Structure 1
Amino acid sequence: MVALAVAGRSNQEIAQLLAVSIRAVEKHLTNSYRKLGVLRRADLAGALNHTF
């Protein structure tokens, strides 16, 4: 899900692509933000570059 968010997909698009609820996408991304130490979607790409 994080890769799709970084690619510019909306939560609704991600939910449709993965056949899950929008709430599931929101929850997963929120947990990802916390684990990666970022506060917003725009910071995800930078955090992923530092992780790998």
Structure 2
Amino acid sequence: MIRHLIPRFSAGRWSGGALTDDGSPTGDEVRGGVVAIQWLGLMIEIGLGRVR
């Protein structure tokens, strides 16, 4: 039970293909990062990214 009282933090990066296509041979790529906080059974996750 004590482990639920200690907040857990997590951060990471992600990337992948975009749903849009600009017609170039390489296509579009999406890159970004995410930060997550979990405490008392609640989780808050914030992610930001951009299309390259």
Structure number with greater Rg is 2
Q: Specify which structure has the bigger relative contact order, considering alpha-carbon pairs within 8 angstroms and separated by 6 or more residues.
A: 2
| Structure ranking higher in helix proportion | 1
How high is the TM-score relative to the length of structure 1? Answer: 0.20
How high is the TM-score relative to the length of structure 2? Answer: 0.20
| Structure ranking higher in strand proportion | 2
